[in-house]
Chains A and B, each alone.
Chain A
Amino acid sequence: MNRCKVILIYLFLYFSSLTLLSQDIQLTGKVTDDFDETLPGVTVAIRGTSLGTSTDINGEFNLTVPSDTSVLIFSYIGYKTEEIKVGKSRIITVRMKEAEQELDEVVVVAFGKQKKTSMISSIETINTKDLRVPGSNLTSAFAGKIPGVISYQTTGEPGNDNAQFFVRGVTTFGYKSDPLILIDGFESTSNDLARLHPDDISAFSILKDATATSMYGPRGANGIILVTTKDGEEGPVKINVRLDTRVTTPTRMNEFIDGTSFMRMYNEALLTRLSTSEPYYSEQKIQATENGVNPMIYPNVQWLDEIFKSHTTNTKANLNLSGGGKVAKYYVAAGYDHETGLLNVDDRSNFNSNISVNRFSVRSNVVFNLTKTTIFDTRIYGRFTSYNGPYRTATEIYDMIMRSNPVDFPAIYEPDEGNRYTNHTLFGSSFDGGAIMTNPYAQMVMGYQNKDENTITAMATLNQKLDFITENLNIQAKASATTWSSYTAKRSYSPYYYTIDSYDPVSNKYKLYGMNASSGRAFLGGVEPYRDATNHYYFEGRLSWDRKFDKHSIGLMTVLTAEQSLLTGGNSSNIFETLPERNLGNSGRFTYDYDDRYFLELVYGYNGSEKFAGKNKFGFFPSVGGGWLVSNEPYWESMKNAISLLKLKFTYGRVGNDAIAGRAGRFWFLSDISVNGGGPFTWGKSFQTSYGGYNVNRIANPDLTWEIADKINLGLEAGFFKDESLKLTVDFFKDYRSNIYSIRSNIPSTAGWSSLPSGNTGKAESKGIDGSIDFQRSFNKDFWLTSRFNFTYSTNKYTFLDELDYPYDYLKHTGKPINQLYGLIAERLFVDQSEIDNSPRQDFGIYMAGDIKYKDMNNDGIINDYDVVPMGFPRVPEIQYGFGISTGYKKMDFSFFFQGNARTSFFIDAAAITPFVGKRNALSFIADSYWSELNPDPHAFFPRLSTSVIQNNSRASSWWLRNGSFLRLKMLETGYNFDGYKMLNGGRIYFNCENVFVLSPFKYWDPEVGSNGLNYPLNRSFNVGLQLFF
């Protein structure tokens, strides 16, 4: 860094010396901010020359200028650039204004930028500060932060914890309902988005309505997330370092009952279903376990404690440098983060079977000014991930724990006499019907896997100003490419399992029996490798022109795009999967504004996709919008003190979606026939004449075409008070989907077709409101406060679904939300056998008193799938909101953020939590409330116990329906900004905590994960961070 500065200073001196010969006016000056605090390091340049200086630590500067008419340009990151004419004054004082206002004024839109005031599309721009979370997954920050985005997270497993997110909720029941992600204009995956570092982002926009998205005709229907990474700014090098260390702990761990309670309850579960059963666990074993006689013989293992740690420590570092001169500007960033899982490591092996993820990323954005009119923008990004983890995934191990019990065997046996010299680990297990039971501990330590994954993205943009043809005409060509590849290697040994052969209680000695002496293997076996890779290319040519004539401003832009993505790894032999995915299109935009008061915008996309045939290959997607900035009307002047901004806007248009299926199955215009794939038959004396038959997997539909979204948006922006310190933005939207690819259902069996034909028959619509209220004010130079409230409400319904014409209205999906839950109506638990005999037959296998009694909706005397009714709210929340306050006093700052979901429901997965299935343990809350002969509570939480899943009880029903709404203190942060010292320009130290607490009517686990309560839990983290500016 020093060297950079030396070079820059040298260059500066060199240029200054050239000008010394001419006239010289000596100036001194001081630069302060709005609150009269001095600003060091502000660049002071003289317009039209290469001369300049920067302010010292006291915000003061000395400069020699050529003449009185020279104009000084003051620039500083985060502040508005000021221009001052020298004039007669020899002492110049400048008060610079913070630039937040300025950032707001230009909004990144599809293929360009627009002035915020003239923008009529519904585009939400997020302050990247709001996206900072302690963890290393950007998507986990979305919930409640972005009006118009609905997001939730269902697992906290490191490396696998992306949140689900939808722009304006789910509006289609087709193949793809999540938004298009564009990073620097290049289609990216949600993993790419998740790993972006907020410090590297200069703009983060959500494109929601038709005029915003229809230029991305084939892929914009579900909304777009548009991210732009930072560029350098002209000036000396600036260095920003950020270090974070966090302690991560699960928000909640499931609790199980102990060994003795387990055995008693297990026996009860056997006897309650079949009174003639023998108890499985003897009273002697129960007593001995209770007394802790010998933990090898009478184990009482708490698998969770055995395998999981209570917390783990993760670190993250990010460094970026930026700066530039006349020729080039640069932004270079490097990031590193290290995430570890919660698994214990067994010291008997020298390999690490805990999750340990190391991610390293480099970003280099350099913009060259090739000529005065030519800009060459290069962006290179590389991300390298090295994952080390157990042979099984953490989720699998977690799942195995949920399926084990504490008393059948210990994790590891202490060697008996016969095994004193055995040099492999004696893992515990026992036989269950001839099979060796799963020992989760053995499964965790039996091996490990490495996964190396890297992504490299390169982009180059050449922009040529064509002012010699006409003013402001611009042509631009851009090419991007990314390559992603991964290699996984799994290595494992095959654990030796032992069980007790004999035990002598007198001597307290036992003999072990090797259960798999022939199939075990103590050394690591063959590697199971897996490779996967993709390439993705993109080309864009763009021509744009804008001009202002008196009160008329006109903008025109057209763009040609071509894109290809290709599978270059993996083991697929499916011919369709190996073919590239391609898009080709031309889009354009015309904008017009009259006197900053009336706005008009026309947009079109004419796009093609390889997924369709003939005339359906290309689709045309036009849209139109208009706006009225009421507060710029002359007659509004008097109102400006109260309502400083008022804008009304309206857009209407059409966007498409070509993602009708995954890579392998996307060519619906072709039939899919597999020879040898169905209907084999054998003849012949020796049963040898055998042929595989064929199967028609899909009937061709050459007419298949785009899914279409017709979007309407009605928006209002208002600013209150003279300084616009209170702002309100609200959008009302409606989205009519049609041509949704779906399978035709009303085909009778007698037609004999082996697969049902498809068609663009589905229709759905969604509507809702999203908006935000912002307040931001500095009360004096020491005290400021901002607050924000975001709100998204989105509801949808099927308007046409080619479904069966059921005799019962409640079975129809048409008119109901897309993610509507359906289940049986549970009345209560059956009281006794005579009640069962006198109730309608329940068609789901065996049931008895204490099992769930359902309502016969159609009164046909049988309870089956025809009695299923819609219930609760959809799984994807209809309402998501967030609110937070940030405040600062002098150098301290403090903020908190609450996030909530409402109008959402989920089913508890009854089959997954049913205790004793495969001898698994019981969750504590089930042990607390279940039906039993002694306590035949018809409203107990859990029905009559069993040792297998009772199909009657595990059906989706109102018995298991739960309200999924919650309010969470998502983030709490406090920080201290400290002054610079010598080279250090300043810094900030902060502490924050994520997922502090959650308020919800549902208590058993974190309600955000919904049905997946037994999966790897969500995390809570406590983070300390340090940020330094040089």
Chain B
Amino acid sequence: MNKRFLEILMRRLLVISICLSIFLPSCSDFLDIVPDNTVTLDDVFSTKEQAWNALSKIYSSLPPVNDHLRSEYGLGDEYRVYLQNRYDQRSVADLINAGNQSVNDPLLGLWSGTRGAKNLYRALYDTNLFIENIDNVKNMMDIEKADWKAQAKFLHAYYTFLLVQHYGPIVIVDKMISADATDEEMYPRRRKVEECFQYIIGLIDEAIPDLRERANSDVYGQVDKVVAKSIKARILLFRASPFFNGNTDYNNFLDIDGEPFFSQEYDKQKWKDALDATNEAIKICVENKVDLYTFDGNVYSYDRIDYQSNKNMMQTYYDLRMLIVDPWNSESIWGYSSLSEAGGEQWQAMMNIPLPENYDSFGGSYDTHLSYNSTGATLAVAERYYTNNGLPMNEDLSYNYLSRYDITTTPIETDAEFDKLRGVLQPGYEVVELYKNREMRFYANLGITGGYFRSHSNRIATSMFAEQPGGKYAKFGLQFNPTGISIQKFVHPDTKAGHYERLVKFPYPLMRMADLYLMKAEALTQYLDKPTQEVYDAINNVRRRAGIPDVEEVWSNPQLAKTVNKHKTKEGMLEIILRERDNEFAFEGLRFWDAHRYKKALTEFSKPNVGWDNSGSDAESFFVRTVYQQNKFFMKNYLWPIDQKELTINKNLIQNPGWY
């Protein structure tokens, strides 16, 4: 190339650089278009008003027990939920009961938030984030920050416990994982069960001193000392229970280091820990006026006459009927308060029966909206309730157990016999023997043929037969009670159909006082060699409220009890306590975990799900035992499957036994 060319080239470059120098200085400005003040995480923790959002975020991972499709209440053998053929519209718990749990798409999988479950590891991240950032808030007092931080710690511990409850050994997340985490932090191993419990209890103990004694009414539902101490007692009870305490079924379930995940040695001291914690919880509850609920309002006008003639029994009825639905009553230790505005998915709406056409005195609506009547109780739970003597049907010598399915007629109104049934059963109605002479919890919790269902501000005389009040109406399509036995425990008598505002809201129980008394009885029985009066006193608290005789009174009566003095042996008393729990907490989601703790789920939950024939239009065709589902619980179901995808990502994870 010649010299001239180079000259020209140089001149060219000069021109270019002049041009560039004109344009380029403004370049970066031209491309910087994002304004400041877009939201960052710091903004969420800048003021108290914003930080409320962060607080609500960490509470929002509490499992939605009120949501009939996603609630764990449906696990076990108490419910028959929503007879809808579409797979995605059935209660997830019901699908688990039918044996559909899988590793690829875990149902109610808390580990990674699959199929209706909250994602609890996300909750652990959020609580950690909250704990790390809440001190940055400018306009909060230190004591308030400490309280909120303690709530976050408690929730972190509670969520960790829920994971342990379902999965056994789990990954502990004691700090936030950042984007530049090492592989070791990113792909952690599962920890031994005992280590997990210690982590949980340690955290709750850390939280308790900073919590308020009792949350005020504006924030009912938030965690306070009463809640923390009570839940701590429950967690220690789980830790002491056979499933977690020396469970040799898992002697081959080993960590990478060859050690078993579950402690293989039974440790009686764990019951002592649970007992102490329970006593402490009862103490703080009583100090804060939390105790067993009794109804002290005015009875509804439709019950006034019956109440006058049968005062004791009707008082017990009201104590039990209003126990759950009377909002924030004295029995509630902790309740689930985040009821969605849509409301349609609540148990209350699913359990309420539509108002029949001739009941119009209190402005009720025949609308089926929010009174879907699509959730029924199984025959199993109906049979589990005691007789009016406070004994199981098959243990009560005064009760003809074998003829319990025989059709009979209730006494007619003029019959003297009927007086003690007033307000509970209708006169001269064809029912089964099973429906007579039962304890008051049976009548207060269930809606039965020949009984009453109190809702829509009405006392509906229920039949449950097809095309009759409470039963299956062809015109309502799939909205009918599948088993022919409905549940009124979660329906407030003033709840009406139509609009969500007409559902009387109440917190769904996360823990209530009766639980602490029965936990005390259980822990004491387990810790002692032989039951003592202290055990009986604890359980009798609950029995007296239910209107049944004291435990030692009926079980020592050879005219009544088939297995006389069962309450005097450790094993017998444990069985009595667990049955008491079943009846007291029916439908509240505790039975599944009690059977689980005592390793009885395999036998209890592999039975058919049975109800009456909902298409029957009279006693004869209705009272036919009908199998609605064959429930399946396998050994592997004790520990829930971890999403297969998680094992693909984290090679350090070991799947629970039996799942592949």
Chain A residues packing against B (C-beta within 8 Å): 433-434, 469-470, 541, 543, 545, 547, 549, 552, 554, 556, 558, 560, 562, 575-576, 579-580, 582, 584, 586, 588, 608-610, 617-618, 667, 670-671, 673-676, 678-685, 687, 689-694, 696, 699, 745-754, 757, 804-807, 843, 845-846, 860, 862, 864-866, 951
Chain A residues within an 8 Å CB radius of B35: 575, 579
Q: Which residues of A contact B121 (CB under 8 A)?
A: 749-752
Alpha-carbon gap, A843 to B101, bound state (A): 11
Decide if A805 touches B122 in the complex (CB within 8 Å): no
B220 in complex: contacting residue of A674, A684, A864, CB < 8 Å = A684
Indicate whether A667 sits within 8 Å of B34 (C-beta atoms), given known contacts A470-B8, A549-B2, A560-B19.
yes
With A608-B27, A673-B40, A750-B188 in contact, do A685 and B218 touch (Cβ < 8 Å)? yes
Give the shortest distance, in Å, between B162 (CB) and chain A (any CB). Answer: 14
> Which of B9-17, B410-418, B438-446 is found at the contact surface with chain A?
B9-17
Contacts A673-B40, A749-B111, A843-B102: A584 and B27 contacting too (C-beta < 8 A)?
yes
Q: Which residue of A lies closest to B178 (CB)?
A: A751
Smallest CB gap from B179: residue in A: A757
Chain B contacts for A745, CB-based, 8 A: 649
CA distance A757 to B181 in the complex (A): 13
Q: Are A748's CB and B186's CB within 8 A? A: yes
Interface membership of B83, Cβ < 8 A: no
Query: Given A580-B33, A754-B122, A575–B5 Cβ distance below 8 Å?
Result: no
CA A165 to CA B28, docked complex, whole Å: 34
**Contact indicator B87/A679 (Cβ below 8 Å):** no
Give residues of chain B (500-529) contacting chain A, Cβ–Cβ below 8 Å: 505
- Known contacts A541-B19, A586-B20, A691-B52; 6 further A-B pairs (Cβ under 8 A): A558-B19, A588-B16, A610-B31, A748-B186, A748-B653, A751-B186
**A-B residue pairs, 7 tightest by C-beta:** A752-B125, A679-B57, A679-B60, A749-B112, A691-B56, A681-B56, A683-B221
A684 touching B337, Cβ below 8 Å: yes
> Shortest beta-carbon distance, B2 to chain A, in Å?
7
Q: In angstroms, how far is the closest chain A Cβ from the Cβ of B220? A: 5
Q: Which residues of B sit under 8 angstroms from A846, Cβ to Cβ?
A: 85, 87
Minimum Cβ distance to chain B for residue A946 (Å)? 11
Of the candidates A562, A670, A749, A845, the one having the most CB atoms from chain B within 10 angstroms of its own CB is A749
B220 A685 Cβ-Cβ under 8 A: yes
With A747-B649, A749-B112 in contact, do A674 and B8 touch (Cβ < 8 Å)? Answer: no
Complex-state Cα separation, A141 to B323, whole angstroms: 75
CB–CB B122/A752 < 8 A: yes
Closest CB-CB distance, A155 to chain B, in whole Å? 30
Known pairs A579-B33, A687-B505; A748 contacts B646 (CB<8 A): yes
Closest B residue, CB atoms, query A559: B19
Write out, one digit per residue, whether chain B residues 29-47 have a CB within 8 A of any chain A CB (1) or not (0).
0111111001111011000
Query: Which residues of B are in contact with A by a Cβ distance under 8 Å?
Result: 1-2, 4-5, 8-9, 11-12, 15-16, 19-20, 23-24, 27-28, 30-35, 38-41, 43-44, 50, 52-62, 85, 87, 102, 104-105, 111-113, 119, 121-126, 128, 171, 173, 176-177, 179, 181, 186-188, 215, 217-222, 327-328, 337-339, 477, 505, 643-646, 648-650, 653, 660
27 A-B pairs, CB-CB below 8 angstroms? A470-B8, A470-B11, A545-B12, A549-B2, A549-B4, A556-B9, A556-B12, A558-B16, A608-B27, A608-B30, A618-B27, A667-B34, A671-B40, A673-B41, A675-B50, A681-B55, A681-B337, A683-B218, A685-B220, A691-B52, A693-B57, A748-B646, A748-B650, A753-B177, A807-B648, A843-B102, A866-B644
Residues of B within 8 A of A545 (CB): 8, 12
Cα–Cα, bound, A692→B176 (Å): 23
Q: A470-B11, A750-B173 are in contact. Are A694 and B53 (CB under 8 A)?
A: yes
Task: Report the bound CA distance from A754 to B181 in whole Å.
Answer: 16
> Is B219 a contact of A689 with CB atoms below 8 Å?
yes
A91 to B646, CA, bound (A): 92
Q: Which residues of B contact A547 (CB under 8 A)?
A: 8
CA distance A951 to B86 in the complex (A): 10
Contact of B87 among A580, A610, A806, A951 (CB under 8 A): A951
CB pair A805–B53 under 8 Å, yes or no, is no
Q: A667-B34, A843-B102 are in contact. Are A687 and B339 (CB under 8 A)?
A: yes
Output the least CB separation between B106 and chain A (Å): 11
Residues in chain B near residue A804, CB distance under 8 A: 645, 648-649
Determine the chain B residues whose CB is within 8 A of the CB of A617 once the complex forms: 28, 31
Which residues of chain B have C-beta atoms less than 8 A from A558's C-beta? 16, 19
Complex interface: chain B residues within 8 A of A750 (CB): 121, 171, 173, 177, 188, 646, 650
**Could you say which residues of chain A place their CB within 8 Å of the CB of B55?**
681, 691
Chain A residues with Cβ under 8 A from B643's Cβ? 749
Q: How far is the CB of A1009 from chain B (nearest CB, A)?
A: 30
A479 to B3: give the CA distance in the assembly, Å: 37
Taking a contact as CB atoms under 8 Å apart, the answer to whether B179 and A749 are in contact is no
Q: Is the CB of A685 within 8 A of B217?
A: yes
**A397 to B: closest C-beta gap in Å:** 28
A576 CA / B1 CA spacing, docked (Å): 53
Q: Assess the B53–A675 pair: CB atoms within 8 A.
A: yes
Contact partners of A806 in chain B: CB under 8 A:
648
**Contact status A554-B5, CB under 8 Å:** yes
- Quick check: A845 and B87 within 8 Å, CB to CB? yes
Q: Which residue of A lies closest to B163 (CB)?
A: A750
Complex CA distance for A563 and B44, rounded to whole angstroms = 36
B-side contacts of A579, CB under 8 Å: 33-35
Q: B116: shortest Cβ distance to chain A, in Å?
A: 16
In the bound complex, CA of A618 to CA of B31 (Å): 10
**In the bound complex, CA of A684 to CA of B336 (Å):** 10
Q: A433-B477, A684-B221 are in contact. Are A748 and B649 (CB under 8 A)?
A: yes
Q: Which residue of chain A has its CB nearest to the CB of B478? A: A433
In whole Å, how far is A802's beta carbon from the nearest beta carbon of chain B?
11
Question: Which chain B residues border A860 with CB–CB below 8 Å?
Answer: 660
Q: How far is the CB of A255 from chain B (nearest CB, A)?
A: 31
Give the interface centre of B57, B102, B505 by most chain A CB atoms within 10 Å. Answer: B57
Provide the bound-state CA to CA distance between A692 and B125, in Å: 18
| Bound Cα distance from A152 to B35, whole angstroms | 41
Contacts of B41 in A (CB 8 A): 671, 673, 696
Q: For B27, what are the chain A residues with a Cβ–Cβ distance below 8 Å?
A: 584, 608, 618
Evaluate contact between B177 and A751: CB separation under 8 angstroms.
Answer: yes
B100 nearest CB neighbor, chain A only: A843
Chain A residues in 8 Å Cβ range of B43: 673, 675
Contact of B328 among A584, A685, A690, A693 (CB under 8 A): A685
Closest A residue to B30 by beta carbon equals A584
| Distance in Å: Cβ of B191 to nearest Cβ of chain A | 11
Q: Which residue of A has the minimal Cβ distance to B55?
A: A691
Partner of A748, one of B60, B187, B218: B187
Complex Cα spacing A681 to B111, Å:
21
- Once bound together, how far apart are the Cα atoms of A696 and B126, in whole Å? 10
B16 is contacted by which of A543, A685, A746, A753 (Cβ under 8 Å)?
A: A543
Cross-interface CB contact of B5 among A552, A562, A749, A865, cutoff 8 Å? A552
Nearest residue (CB) in B for A864 is B104
Which residue from chain A places its CB closest to the CB of B52 in the assembled complex?
A691
Report how far A866 CA is from B222 CA in the complex, Å: 43
Kindly report which residue of chain A lies nearest to residue B651, judged by CB atoms. Answer: A805
Interchain nearest-CB distance for A455 vs B (Å): 25
Q: Which residues of A contact B61 (CB under 8 A)?
A: 679
Q: Which residues of A contact B221 (CB under 8 A)?
A: 682-684
Distance (whole angstroms) from the CB of B130 to the closest CB of chain A: 11
Whether the pair B57, A751 counts as a contact (CB closer than 8 A) is no
Chain A residues with CB under 8 Å of B111's CB are 749
Q: How far is the CB of A9 from chain B (nearest CB, A)?
A: 46
**Complex: how many Å from CA A552 to CA B338?**
81
Give the nearest-CB partner of A677 in chain B.
B53
**Taking A549-B2, A673-B44, A751-B125 as contacts, is the C-beta distance between A582 and B33 under 8 angstroms?**
yes
Cα–Cα, bound, A371→B177 (Å): 69
Chain A residues with CB under 8 A of B660: 860
Q: How far is the CA of A64 from the CA of B60 in the complex (A)?
A: 96
Q: Least Cβ distance of B612 to chain A in Å?
A: 19
